[in-house]
Structure 1
Amino acid sequence: MTTHNYEIGMTWTGNTGTGTSSRRAYSRDHEVTAAGPALILGSSDPAFCGDPTRWNPEQLYLASIAQCHMLWYLDLAARAGVIVTGYEDRPSGVMIEEVSGAGQFESVTLHPTMTITAESDPAVAAELHEQVGDYCFIARSIKTPIHHEVVVHVEQPAAVLE
């Protein structure tokens, strides 16, 4: 077994002068950093007094699920001989907020659209998405059900010039 450790920095930048003297007295703005990548400007969802121009945790949650899924999918495709030449996703999620203010994601749906070469098998390309959950570190670490609505486009073979 191999252990990998991850560290980030997070700094709240939303003290508007009176700290958290009331629920509306402060900004939810913060910065997320890590050694190497660019700074992420974060806040809460606008529904929770956040800045709509900044990333919120719910968006980052969806992004981490979709990124991990894509990276494992591409690896599994390469192993299976499916040549992917394009991949896009528009993940969506449904979060339930309880009366107390607590909540959780009820579901996440990935909408991967990929393009594969004419020599690749579209059925295998689609089926590989169901295997990703067995490998994806993020999917294996959460309890939110993850669904897939897969679209596979097959490239047209290049015309043979005589």
Structure 2
Amino acid sequence: MEESGMTWKDSEKELREEKNVCPSFDVFKSSNLQIFKSSNLQIFKSSNLQIFKSPNLQISKSSNLQIFKSSNLQIFKSSNLQIFKSSNLQILKSSNLQIFKTSNLQIFKSSNLQVFKSSNLQIFKSSNLQIFKSSNLQIFKSSNLQIFKSSNLQIFKSSNLQIFKSSNLQIFKS
């Protein structure tokens, strides 16, 4: 090895580089969990994407829709949870966030939050279940935005399961 001009450390470095053929994509990396870490990942990229099409509702309609696009995307990273972190979007960013913690489940609890507003809607009805716990959390706040607003919508309601039941609901119509 010394005769060819390469040292033992040079060959060890070369072996490490061969193993890391795609260094920007790590899935389930031991001590630092990173899922779908990629600097150029694009999901549902479409020039005219409309999810849950209704007269006033347009979710993620963009000519350059990019989900999970971040060079440092980290899902469920120990003490600092960041999901879908991009330039302005931060969902679930909290140093104390605990999801599915033993017997007392609290997910995004908010006293002012109304998601899926409907007269008959019940989501995961349980005595200990709290969804969207936060004092000032507002998701998709818009003057014209209505998410799953329907008098007949029932999600996970006891023995009669009806998901996205609406006479006018259209999913992925593009």
TM-score, shorter chain, exceeding 0.5: no
Larger helix fraction of residues = 1
Of the two, which has the highest radius of gyration? 2
Q: Which has the higher contact order (CA 8 A, sep 6+)?
A: 2
State TM-score, norm by structure 2: 0.22
